[in-house]
Amino acid sequence: MLVYLRLFKESFSFALNALRNNKLRTFLSLLGITIGIFSIIAVLAAVDSLDRNIKENLSGLDKNTMYLTKFSFGPTNVPRWQRDNFPQTEYDDFEFIERNVPDIEAIAYVIFGASETVKYQGESVAGVNVTPVSNGIYEIEDFKVEKGRFYTESESYSGAPVIVLGYSVAENLFDNLNPIGKQVRVYGRKLTVIGVLKKFGSGLFDSPDDKAYVPANFVRRFKNGGANGIPGAIIIKPKKNVDIGAFEQVLKQKYRVYRGLKAGEPDNFFVNKMSGFTDAIDGIIGTLNVIGWIISGFSLLVGGFGIANIMFVSVKERTNLIGIQKSLGAKNRFILFQFLFEAIILSVLGGVIGIVLVWILSLIASGMTEDFKFVLSFYNVFLGFALSTLIGLISGVIPAISASKLDPVEAIRTGM
């Protein structure tokens, strides 16, 4: 056992000395593997961070939540011309679903809003996503009121001229003033501020911080509805522990009857589930990972070939020394480990530098974006070490074997 430990130690010392004596060559070899490891770990860390931030943003939203509307949120086999002729999802449809479909925990009717300018005295905030929606949305979406309150069911039904502002909208509009009870102007009409949402933070989708919520029935008074009017949707949150498949079938059946669709006729609406949306996101993340591996793989390949090429050159340069070592009794395995360690040290050192650069980049990226967290996981660090070691092993094994098999007499003669 001690003999092998000594063998490893001496081989390791020879490898380090060889690297120190050829600093420029060592630097160029390190550069290739560093770029390769940096590329793949940076891509994987970026994709992991994106995946984590998306899931954090969606964590408060029930995956069983459904959007009943004329639009499909994903790919569909229904032709475009047919979808364009689907009837709008209107408030009467919402009332029917609310009364007749069982096992609903929360339901809301939303009109797809547009960017509006919210004004208060001399101040104004442009580009606010004003969302006309019934009060049930408060039990569905993941936001909370910090000041005041959300509008009630009676205010929602009557279309009261009230508004709930997102955190950023209220801050930009009122600064240090208390906005509750103040009147703002939206759609050219006055609305009373009754609530301000708690700060949510930015994410992949529109943040509630940059939104404002008004009762859908208030907007229905002056916005054109019907077939050619602004589109709407019914947001449905089923009760927990309900069979989602059976619930969806009941929902579709009752809605088909309400719309007068006969047996055999296709649906003229879509039931978009959040679970399908999250599955689609997982598919996109998986694809990004594969693309990252492919792109970064080329960098790793170049780095590996660079190390292999350097090792062959090193064997050629030290042929005479190898012959002398073998003539003095050095075993084949000593020569083998000497060159193999050299390749592995080069690769691992390049990998460490690459990982450190990714870590520095992650700190800079996280510091520049307040709400997006760029995370370098332990798995990615371990993967970087493992890949760099494997590349060094693969790149150095053939040159090391060729060096260990040299005939000492021929080696000395060739070196001379």
Cβ atoms of 311 and 395 within 8 Å: the answer is yes
Count CA atoms closer than 13 A to 105's CA, side-chain side: 15
Task: Please give the model's pTM, rounded to 2 decimal places.
Answer: 0.65
Distances (CA, A) of 250 to 19, 336, 411: 72, 72, 84
Question: Closest Cα to residue 86, out of 74, 78, 75, 76?
Answer: 78
pLDDT at 134 over 90: yes
pLDDT at 314 over 90: no
Q: Which amino acid is at 303?
A: G
* DSSP conformation letters of 108-141: EEEE--EEEEEEETTEEEEEEEEEEB-GGGGGTS
Burial 8-24 (b: 16+ CB within 10 A, else e): eeebbebbeebbeebee
Count CA atoms closer than 13 A to 362's CA, side-chain side: 24
From the CB of residue 194, how many other CB atoms can be counted at a distance below 10 Å?
A: 21
- pLDDT: which is higher, 378 or 180: 180
Percent of the chain with pLDDT over 90: 20
φ, ψ at 117 (rounded to 5°): -100, 125
* Angle, vertex CA 72, rays to CA 70 and CA 73, nearest 5: 130
Rounded CA-CA distance 389/383 in Å is 10
* Least confident interval from 40-49, 63-72, 121-130, 184-193: 40-49
The two structure tokens encoding residue 133: 């929606």
Helix axes 378-404, 274-317, angle to 10 degrees: 30
Write out pLDDT tens, residues 219-257. Answer: 988 876 666 667 889 999 998 888 888 998 999 999 999
